[in-house]
Structures are given as structure tokens and as C-alpha cells.
Chains A and B, each alone.
Chain A
């Protein structure tokens, strides 16, 4: 478990830390002593009204949220709103927007609303379609059409294909076509038969026969139609044999010529049939194509595509004949699919499904799952006969296609966590075009043949939204980032708390109630929500803008009210909801407090100790943070001027904690023993801390313990301390002040409040106090106290009951003061060290 010394916003950080144990006094001096009692020295405790700031809704007349109008704008996000407006209006290249903010700030919803407003005046972008590229089918052609006309062209081509499926088979089955086709077939068949017939006659005339062999044809000597066997042939006179062989050779030559001529005749036949098909098809399709052309005569690219369609149909008219045969064969679907080449894939359109124009403004698309395919589109595949096939009709649009001409809102974390998506988006923005890419190729996977569709020009405003860390990481690690996302929209986490913003927050609460369908919230409930918003901001003078967390409490309060059958949500319901949230998450907090109460974790809440003090830390687990007291001790002895941070020595301390400890050396060196070397060895430790410690909010506690150990001054154990300190002894603000106070209060309350118990906090943290109701009540009843501390002198006086003391004109501190006792001890250490050095030198010279 890590002890986090909570940090306050950007500049202020300081979790409370376990106090180290100052060395110095003997074990005996660390024994309990009596509490200092009445004669307290130091600053006065804070009045109860400084510990919590109530909401002031007196200027807003309403009984319940039903009387409130919704807040019209984004509350407290003027800077981000201005950035979004600027980013959407500016047209330069790379002026895309990165909206950053806490995840609960509802950046996506806010940006989406603003984008829709900003693009409302932009016209609907053109439609984009993909059609077959007849010259290169693997590279589908992209064509832009005026808005809404894509589906019309798609329908026209579908009707054209359907008409041709009826018209062309009718033409090709017609008497005229069949007669001419038969004439062609007969003509070429007759040529082949005539050639074979002549060959046969020639062979017979030369006493030879043509035989069909397994692989082809052969010529044999024949007599009376029968092949002359070798034994008979060999009995012939040589002259006759020679004559017969010459005859065979002549027939073979003729046979070869005839057979070689067959493919040529077949080709001529195919050409003639093809010419006939083109002639017949041309007549059939001419009128149908012209009807389509008439509707799109203003679009040259469409007309050019129709020319290509016409030429292809003429070459492949038989596809329609085969597809129109209505045969239920396994190949029938494949034949019908071949006609898909004439279809139109409407990739994006502003027309509704029924063909009527619907969208009139530029689109705003939200892509919450930006995979590569969802972003830049993809090509799908169908399984046919066990093979994956695709064509241009299976190209699917991505978010960039759908948002083209408008804006697209993308979750940055999702974008960065999806393989290939971020580089693909950068490529699209850099090239200014959308290129559909196949992830299989990136992975080097063996794929079936795929498509390379024409890229589509990109004109889109990309808005990424996500956490701040993503923006800063990309800024520092990706050199392309700053050129592609030039507009930062930084959403605030909180806003100043003024009567105006409290009223605005009340309206925001009213809007949430209406949108979510909650029961109305009464004035008290609204005020409690606003006060909770301040507590979430850890500040009396600021309100959180993490709307999601506010809504969560409201939802639980509504649930509580409904559970008890009330129609209006009250302040008590909100309070119960807040307590319920804490209780559900507080198991570890309860166990931690139990350890202290059972004295397993040693934390005193009464008496005094030398070199020992209660520090405060904040633990953050999930969404819950709570304060926990820790004992910090210190021990000292003569040495070389070194203060040892035991946490750092065992690598449990973070750099900020180490820094805080090192500052203590600077403080000591600047205030004490100015005329002699620092001869101190001190060790500081967070007792019973077994996890990491970071932050410097315990540095003042550590300094008090160190001063106590040096001056052998008992410190009060009924007080706990938080605050960082600088080298001049000024106490500085820390984070998590409310949780820290409440953590110590809970321990004290469990043991019994004595009236002397309390917490020292930096004076600059008073403005952050939004303490729990029971803590405020205890303070109001003087049963617990909060002390604002500005300097170490103030704090040590309160803790020790003795004044710190100021150096007089003689250069010494007043007798009995803390500073006097500390300085005298340091002088003693210096003297001891000097004598030890002399003794060592004497031994060396004697030796």
C-alpha cells in the first residue's frame, strides 16, 4: 500500500506523511508526560464558520429544481468553448482539435454539442459512391455526386440491370437472333466438315486411312478400308511401299494443315458470334442506357461511367442471358453475382433510406471504437466455394467517410490503443484523402486478392478527446502531432465559486434532474450538491466541473428519496448519498483506523513526547481517498552535519519526500550555529510505514520532530501536523487537507474527544476547508480544533508550549526558548566533535 502525500492541483502538492522520529532524547525522555493543558502558546484555532462554506442561493428564487431553467452554456468552460469555436471555424490545414480534461468532465458530450452547433450552418457534403472500374476491377472508382443523388443513381443502375436481365435474354432467345446464330454456327461447322470430308476423300484416294488415336490422329496404309498390318505391308514390293509411304506423308501434311486450321475456324466462329451478340445487345441496351444518362446528364463522371458500363455489357451480354435462365444450379448465384459489376455502392449520402433528402447540414460523427476499419473503412469478404472473394460493393465506409465535410469526434485513448489506427489517421490528415487499407497486409498475413479503392478527398475537422496525459505524451513523443492538431481545448476541472456560478450550478443541477428523470431537488438538496461540488474541488472558493461525479451523487440521492416514498429530494437525501458513497468504499479506511485503535499501528492522541509527532498522510484507493495519522520520529547525535532520511535509504521514499528532508538541513544551517560547523547526525522515519512515501507535506512535521529531539523538548501528541516547509521556516500549502483532518479526527473521536485535540494545517490551506459536518460540529463545540500555521515558529510554540524565541541583539536566543535550546545542543555537538578530532590527532602523532 502506497502512502500518498496528496498533491494540490498543479503547484501545490503535499500529502501528509508519517512523521519521522527525532533522535536526541533518551528513551526516558520519550516517556509520556502530562499534556500542556491550558497555557497554550501559538496561533488561535479557526472558528467553525471557517471550516465549511455553505452555499448561498438567496439570490435564486425557487422551491425545487422544477422552477429552474437549465443552464444554457457549458458551465465554467469559456476557454474550451472558445477553442472549439475557433477550431471549427478556422480552415487551415492541421487545425484539428484535441480536447482534454478529466474523464468525468464529460468532454465528449460537451464537445459533441458544441460541434453540432458550429457545423449547423455548413451545407450537407456531397455523396460518394464506389463503382466498378472496368479497366482495373481491383481498383474501384470513387465518384462524387451532389448531396442526395447517390441513392438515385444506385436505384437507376439497379433498374437498368433488372431490365437487361429481362430484355437481353428475350432478344437472344428471339427467332431473329437464333436464326442468325444458327446460320453462323452452320457456316463454320460446314467449313470444318468440308475440310474433313475432303481430307477423308483424299486419304481414300491414296489408299490410306485416317485413324483417331488416344492423343490425336494418325494416317495408316489401307486397303479396302482396312489398315494394312505390318506383316502384309512388308510383303509389298519396295516401290509400292515407297509410294504408299509418300502417300501417307502427303495425307499427313494435309491432315496437319486441316487440324491446324480448326482453331482458326473456331476463333472466326467465336468472333462472328461475338459480333452478332454485340450488334443485338447494342440495340437492346441502347434505349435503357440513354434513359439513365438523361437523368444524370449534368454529371460528366457518371456519363463516363455509363459509357464504360455500355461497353462492358456489349462484351458480356451472355452474362445476362445465363443469369436470366432461372436455373437453380450451384453456379447460378455465381452467375448472378457477376452482374454486381454494374451496381453502385453508395458509400456516404445525406439522403435517408427512403431516398428523400434528410440531412441538411454537415455531419458530426462520434467514433468511440476507432479500429482501423471503423475509422478509414474496410473491405469485407464473402465465402464462395470455400474461397474468400470481394468486390467494390463490399467496401464499407469508415467514420472519416461519414464525417467528410463535417467533423468527427474520436476517443483518443481508443484511437491509440487500436493497432494501426493512429498512423492511419495521421496519413489521412497528411495526405488529405481517405485510403482504405487492409490490416492483413500490415501484418504480412497471406490474404486473398483484395481491392485498392480510389482514395477519397478528405475535408473533415477531427476532434480527439481524452485525458491530459495523452495530449502531453503525444506532444512530446510524436513529431507529427503538433502539425496535425494545432488547437487545444483544455477543459477546466473546476471553476471559481461565486454567487453567479453557484446559481449556474443550481441550474445545471436542475438540467440534470430533468434529463435523467430524477425527482425534483428542493433548495436544501441543491445547496448540498453545490457544497459537495466544492468539496470535490477541495476548495471553499471553487466548484468542481466533473459533472459525472455530481450526477452520481444526485442519482443516489434520488434513489434514496424514491426508496422512502418522497416526491422531492432533500438535503438529507444528498447527505445520505455522500455518506453512502464513502461507506461503500471505506473498507480499507476502516481497517486502517482499527489498527490504530487497537494500538497495532502506534499513534498517540494524548500526552507529550520528545522527538515524536503525528503526521498525516492521504491514501488514494480507486476513487476513494482518506487521511491516516502516522507517527514520525527523530533521533540525533553528534556527527558530520547529515540528516538521514530513512525512507530514502531503504528506497521507500520518493524524490519529493527526500527533497523535503534535505530542506531541513538548509533550515538548520541558516538558523543555528552560524559560527561553527554543523556537527549533527539525525535520522528521520515514518514509523510502521511499509510502502512507498512521497510528497513533502510532512516536512514541517519532520522539522518539528527534529527540533524536539535536538532541544529535548516534548511535543503534544494530541495534535497532528501537516504542511511543507521551506528553508526559511515558512509553512506552505499541501493537498488533501480535508481528508487529513478528518482522518485524525476519526481516530480521536473513536478514543474520545478531549477538547485539546486538533490539527495544525498551513494557513494557506484554510481556504480549502470543506470539512465533514461532524468535524465542524465538534470544532464549534470546542471539542476539536484546527490551527492555521504560517511559520515553523508558530507551530513549534503550539506543539511545545514554549515560545520559539527570536535572536536578540547579542546574537543569542532568549533563555528557555525552543531556538535557544536547539542552538545550545548544536554547540554541544560541535564541541564534542572538536574534542574527538583533537584526540584523534593526538593519537595519530603519538603513534
Chain B
């Protein structure tokens, strides 16, 4: 796989209740544009299995808003069905872009899952309530794409808060996707040079670097993706993704180095 970055894989992580359908397409597109491998990992959460072993265990169903008993057999069956659906949706999304995909099921906890990740992986996940310790996973990976609950999945500019590897990644995505690049420039920051034709680059200045201002700019431009440096991410990345209504790709930590292919 040829990539100008150190990224090697896009890993879609799935736990519990699965992912919204657009997430599979978004993950596949990201892998396609950056020429990366695509893999899905379904985590059979041991904590849930442990809970299901208690005779008093029950769950509150979001569909019916009712309580229902939990038992290990049904929990395993639910895991199996969710994993199968995840694998199918990921394969469909990949094949629609002419790509292959891999898929695996892993039992354990988040820490066990984190061991699978490499420093060259881009994790794709959905913020959940209550918030999951996503940061712990992110420490193991090069980047993470957070997908909001109802992502806008339509053509539009690739937005970026320009800085280092974030700008390079966004530029590559804009080039490969055929979209324009929207540079969101907080305050009086200087315009960064971009390796794209001028008519493919738009700039929008925002007063501050807070989540509200960035989300405002993303929504106003009907952008399809926001790329942002990890260091520039406001306090709550999940809140930023929800406010933007589009996936947010959080990259690097400043130590990330661009790996030239040639």
C-alpha cells in the first residue's frame, strides 16, 4: 500500500450496539483516499459477559424503553449477530469503492483492544454515552476519526484547521476526493501554503479556536469532513464531532512525522 504518510490501516472499532450505517462508508472512503488497508474489529466486551452472568442482570432497551433480563447466551448471540452485520456492512462499503477489507472479532476489554493497534493506525469510532475512554485507545494510534451519531454524508469541502500533519493530511484527502479544501483559520493566524490549485482552496477565518467557532465554520460551508491536529482539539472531541455533524479526523501529536514515499 502506497501512502505518503506513516498511516497503514484504517481500523473501524465496534463495540456494544454497533455503528450507524454511514460510518462504514466514511471509514472506507478514508482508507480509499489515503490508500490504506481497511479493517474492522468487533470487541466482545468481557465486562458485559461478566454482567450477564449475574442473576439480577438486566438492560434498559433503547428501542422499547423497557427493562429486560440479560443472560450470557443471549448476549453471545447478540454479539454474533452484531459482528456479522458489521462485517457485511464493512465489506459492502469497501467493495463499492473497489477495495478489500478485513474483519476480526476480539473478546476482552478496551485495554486488550488497544494492544492490537499500531502507531500507524487510524481508528474510526463513534462517541458513546456514557463516554468511553477513547483517549486510551488514541494513545496507541496515529489518528482517530470520530463519527457523530447522525453524520452528514454528502459531497462537500474537506475542512481543516491548518497545522502541520493535519494540513498535509487534509490536502491529500482533498486531492484524492476531488473536493475543495476549506482552511479554517482562527484569529489572525497566517495562511499556510497549500499544494493545491488556488481554485481548489477556500479560506474562512474564525474569531477563536474554540469548538463552537470551528463547528460553525464547518456547518456553514457544508463540509464533509474536518481534519484537526490533536493539539488543537478542544476539550471534548466527541462534542466537536456532534457539533460539526460530520466526521472529525484527529491526527498526530506533533511528534508524528511525515513519511515520504519518495
Chain A interface (Cβ < 8 Å from any Cβ of B): 173, 175, 178-179, 181-183, 185-186, 189, 192-193, 196-197, 199-200, 209-218, 220-221, 226-231, 233, 245, 248, 252, 255-256, 259-260, 325, 327-329
Contacts and interface: CB of A to CB of B under 8 A. Distances in A.
Contacts of A185: 243
A214 B18 contact: yes
B104 to A, nearest CB: 18
Given A196-B130, A259-B60, A329-B155, A213 B48 contact: yes
Contact of B79 (A173, A214, A216): A214
Given A217-B60, A256-B60, A327-B156, A228 B50 contact: yes
A185 B67 CA distance: 30
Contacts of A212: 15-17, 128, 130, 132
A227 B110 CA distance: 13
A431 B51 CA distance: 74
Interface in B92-144: 128-132
Contact of A230 (B45, B50, B75, B219): B50
Interface in B55-80: 55-63, 65, 67-68, 70, 75, 78-79
A189 B242 contact: yes
Contact of A260 (B65, B68, B154, B222): B65
Interface in B213-262: 215-216, 219-220, 222, 239, 242-243
Given A212-B128, A327-B154, A229 B60 contact: no
- The 8 lowest CB-CB distance pairs between A and B, nearest first, are A212-B16, A230-B53, A220-B51, A214-B78, A218-B59, A227-B47, A229-B50, A178-B216
Contacts of B130: 196-197, 199-200, 210, 212
A735 B201 CA distance: 96
12 contacts: A178-B220, A179-B216, A211-B45, A212-B132, A214-B16, A214-B75, A216-B59, A217-B59, A220-B54, A245-B56, A325-B222, A329-B154
Given A214-B79, A217-B59, A252-B60, A182 B216 contact: yes
A175 to B, nearest CB: 8
A576 B56 CA distance: 113
A215 B62 contact: yes
A321 to B, nearest CB: 9
Interface residues of B, number: 46
Contacts of B128: 212
B220 A218 contact: no
Contacts of A182: 212, 215-216, 243
A351 B57 CA distance: 76
Nearest to A200: B130
Contacts of B216: 175, 178-179, 182
B11 to A, nearest CB: 19
Q: Which of B48, B54, B220 has the largest number of chain A CB atoms within 10 A?
A: B54
Given A215-B17, A217-B60, 18 more contacts: A193-B239, A199-B130, A211-B16, A213-B16, A213-B78, A214-B78, A215-B62, A216-B61, A218-B51, A218-B57, A220-B50, A226-B47, A245-B56, A256-B65, A259-B60, A327-B154, A328-B155, A329-B154
Contacts of A229: 50, 53
Nearest to B109: A226
B62 A209 contact: no
Contact of B50 (A189, A227, A255): A227
Contacts of B82: 214
Contact of A216 (B62, B75, B219): B62
Nearest to B47: A227
A213 B215 contact: no
Contact of A215 (B50, B51, B78): B78
Contacts of B61: 215-216
B53 A178 contact: no
A197 B236 CA distance: 13
Contacts, number: 120
A231 B78 CA distance: 23
Nearest to B58: A218
A179 B212 CA distance: 8
Contacts of B132: 212
Nearest to A263: B65
B187 to A, nearest CB: 16
Contacts of B63: 215-216
Contacts of B58: 218, 252
A834 B171 CA distance: 133
Contacts of B75: 213-214
A213 B70 contact: yes
B243 A189 contact: yes
A290 B75 CA distance: 62
B18 to A, nearest CB: 7
Nearest to A256: B60
B129 A233 contact: no
Contacts of A248: 56
Contacts of B53: 229-231
A221 B60 contact: no
Contacts of A221: 54
B95 to A, nearest CB: 19
A211 B131 CA distance: 10
A199 B130 CA distance: 9
Given A221-B54, A325-B222, A216 B156 contact: no
Nearest to A233: B54
Nearest to B63: A215
Contacts of A214: 16-18, 75, 78-79, 81-82
B105 to A, nearest CB: 14
Contact of B65 (A179, A189, A245, A259): A259
Contacts of B60: 216-218, 252, 255-256, 259
Contacts of A227: 47-48, 50-51
Contacts of B67: 252, 256
B129 A186 contact: no
A269 B220 CA distance: 19
Contacts of B131: 196
Nearest to B78: A214
A220 B59 contact: no
Given A212-B15, A216-B61, A192 B129 contact: yes
A494 B129 CA distance: 96
Contacts of B57: 218, 220
Contacts of B45: 211
Contacts of A181: 219
B145 to A, nearest CB: 19
Contacts of A183: 212
Nearest to A230: B53
A178 B219 contact: yes
Contact of B62 (A226, A245, A259): A259
